[in-house]
Amino acid sequence: MPDFDARAGAETILSTSSSLLVRTVHDLDKLVFKRIADVLDPHGLSQTQALFIIYLGYNTDEAVYQSKLEKAFGLSNPTVTASIRSLVKKGVIYREQDKHDGRFFQLFLTDYGKTLYAPCIEAFQKADELFGELLSPEEVETFRHLLQKLLQR
């Protein structure tokens, strides 16, 4: 990485041709999430809502509560609450009071929500395809390894 010149700092950081790694990661993030949004936008879903639909659709054999979603995706209680409320309002999920502890509500996909499971999976698969289009299988595996290494910090 080249030495950082504080006098040209803002110009360097704002430049799309910047050599700063964080800028490259940000640009990649935007590209990937545009691919996801292209599939989800027609369904009126956010990326987070799609992840919840996938989680609920995949984990049909266990009780899923809000706290499980918070933990699974590393999201705050208010963020998950807002997404759940939105999904309930859209008729995608419903909440059912726990039979053993009335303070908790189990989450389920509605019939309409079940129809959204496949498009939600497709959204993330299309984003993954971007890497296969641009990188060899070996490069994809190396990239995945490097990302996992960075995330372990």
pLDDT digits (tens, 9 = 90+) for 99-114: 888 889 999 999 999 9
Q: What is the pTM of this model?
A: 0.80
Q: Which two tokens stand for residue 142?
A: 């190396």
Report yes or no on 2 lying in a domain: no
For all residues of the chain together, what is the average pLDDT? 88
Question: Does 5 have pLDDT greater than 70?
Answer: no
Summarize the confidence of residues 19-41 as an average pLDDT: 88
Report yes or no on 105 lying in a domain: yes
What's the domain range around 121? 22-151
Render 6-55 in DSSP notation, one character per residue: GGGHHHHHH-TT---HHHHHHHHHHHHHHHHHHHHGGGT--HHHHHHHHH
Report yes or no on 3 lying in a domain: no
Report yes or no on 53 lying in a domain: yes
The CATH code of the domain that includes 131 is 1.10.10.10
Domain count, the chain: 1
Cα–Cα distance measured from residue 145 to residue 89, given in angstroms and rounded to the nearest whole number: 39
Report yes or no on 9 lying in a domain: no
Q: Which two tokens stand for residue 138?
A: 């070996």
Report yes or no on 94 lying in a domain: yes
Tens of pLDDT along 59-99?
999 999 999 999 999 999 999 999 999 999 999 999 999 88
The per-type count for the chain, helices as H runs and strands as E runs, is 7, 2
Report yes or no on 55 lying in a domain: yes
Closest CA to 93 of 110, 79, 106: 110
